[in-house]
Structure 1
Amino acid sequence: MNRQLTAIIEREGDGYVALCPEVDVASQGDTVDEARNNLKEALELFFETASTTEIQQRLHSEVYVTNIEVAVG
């Protein structure tokens, strides 16, 4: 079974951090592609080893990624 999940990737220092907010799993890499691939591997390992109860507790069924405008300064 395949599942569509969200990957948020941002630069941090000399590399990139990738986060899946649906289950709060993160990984990193030297490039965007490496961070994404490492996150995919971490997610597959999580779903392979976590109990059904843990998955249900951590899985957020709705995640929204959007932009907001805020006043600064």
Structure 2
Amino acid sequence: MNTKTLTVILYKEDDMYIAECVELGTIDQGESIEKAINNLKEATKLYLEECPFVETQPRLVTTMEVTYEELSYA
């Protein structure tokens, strides 16, 4: 049995939370953050049972600030 620590990005779309595993591209959703993560864990487990894990460099997550002008459609 293998255990991996993977990066998860969470965001809300309408009334659902979306959870995405950065390294594998698996995505799932749930009505709460906890449900979205649990559903993603199950989807990722099923994915890894069929596809071998390819070791990659650790992902770094940061933020940036961008200044821009919006187009006006008047």
- TM-score range (shorter-chain normalised) is 0.7 to 0.9
Using structure 2 for the length normalisation, give the TM-score: 0.81
Aligned to 1:68, which of 57, 64, 69? Answer: 64
User: What SS does structure 2 have at the residue aligned with 1:28?
Assistant: strand
Q: Distance in 2 between matches of 1:64 and 1:72?
A: 25
Shift of 1:45: 0.6
How far did 1:32 drift? 0.5
Q: Which deviates the most, 62-71 or 5-14?
A: 62-71
Quick one: percent identity of the two aligned structures?
A: 35
Q: Which amino acid aligns with 2:18?
A: V
Runs of 4+ in 1 over 6 A off after TM superposition: none
User: What corresponds to 1:7 in structure 2?
Assistant: 8
* Greater Rg by CA: 2
Q: Specify which structure has the bigger relative contact order, considering alpha-carbon pairs within 8 angstroms and separated by 6 or more residues.
A: 1
Task: Count how many residue pairs are aligned between Structure 1 and Structure 2.
Answer: 68
The CA deviation at 1:43 is 0.7
- Give unmatched runs, 5+ long, in structure 2: 70-74
Aligned-pair RMSD on alpha carbons?
Answer: 1.4
